[in-house]
Amino acid sequence: MRKNITLSILIGSSIVCLLWLIGLGWVLIDYNNQPESSAKIASEEKIKEMEKDGIRLLALGDSLTRGTGDDTGKGYVGYLSDALEEKTEEEITITNYGIKGLTTDKLAEQVKEDEVQRQITHADLLFITIGGNDLFQGGESLSELNEDSISKLMKAYSEQLQAVLSSIRSINKDAPIYLMGLYNPFNDLDNSALTSQVVRTWNNATAEICAKYKQTIFVPTYDIFQQNVQQYLYSDHFHPNKKGYQLMAERVASLISWEVNDNE
């Protein structure tokens, strides 16, 4: 009788143990086969979404950003986009906020606008042309060129430019900024020696400001126009023509590293 009881207990225990092992197996199978967490899926979807976005260019500044003087309307920004498309299979999107006659103080106001800041946030590359209207003021300041007046103009410009770059960097810390230097559109006039000296000094100050900010590259254009200024200017003798803009675009394109594609 005792043996039968013992045997029954052993059989019962074995059955319970077997059921427990089967249950554990189903738990492990269910655990290993459960779907990935929503956070992980969302992260992977975000990565794929950014890969599909391509390269986003943001252009800020004055009439040179707008492309004034180019009969095709492309300007250096359009030709730059063409050049970059030849180097990558990614889609390139351009947002152009160029405004004719824009000065640096107005640009400092523009970069505070909500929509502009949103574009800055998502930009992979930023391009700026500014300073020509601050210095030349439509040619009016040329008749009053002297050390004191130029010093005042440069001081105001430098302060506003730093405000612009600081605003951009507070929003987007990593995207490269390419700031175009000035050329001298009056290089063939009687006072060309003086105007050229002023432009070079202005460019040097701009380059020094750029050096204070991460990934901010000063792009010289003075030499492009120096020898054959009229060959590369529009009929207004101030803005670049199609060829002038193409040369500017080539200069910028040569400085762009594709490492910026891993920016985000």
Full-model pTM? 0.78
Q: Looking at the predicted structure, is the pLDDT value of residue 87 above 80? A: yes
Domain extents in the chain: 2-34, 42-258
pLDDT digits (tens, 9 = 90+) for 96-122: 999 999 999 999 999 999 999 999 999
CATH topology for 42-258 is Rossmann fold (3.40.50)
Cα 137 to Cα 72, 80, 95, 132, 133, distances in angstroms: 26, 27, 26, 7, 5
Torsional sign, CA 262, 208, 96, 185: negative
pLDDT digits (tens, 9 = 90+) for 150-209: 899 999 999 999 999 999 999 999 999 999 999 999 888 877 888 899 999 999 999 999
What's the alpha-carbon Rg for the chain, to the nearest Å? 31
> What does the pLDDT average to over 127-145?
82
Are residues 111 and 72 in contact, defined by beta-carbon separation less than 8 angstroms? no
Q: Looking at the predicted structure, is the pLDDT value of residue 253 above 70? A: yes
> What does the pLDDT average to over 72-86?
96
Could you give the CA distance from residue 232 to residue 230 in angstroms, rounded to a whole number? 5
Nearest residue to 109 (alpha-carbon basis) of 151, 59, 60, 38: 60
The answer for residues whose C-beta is within 8 angstroms of residue 201's C-beta and 6 or more apart is: 150, 154
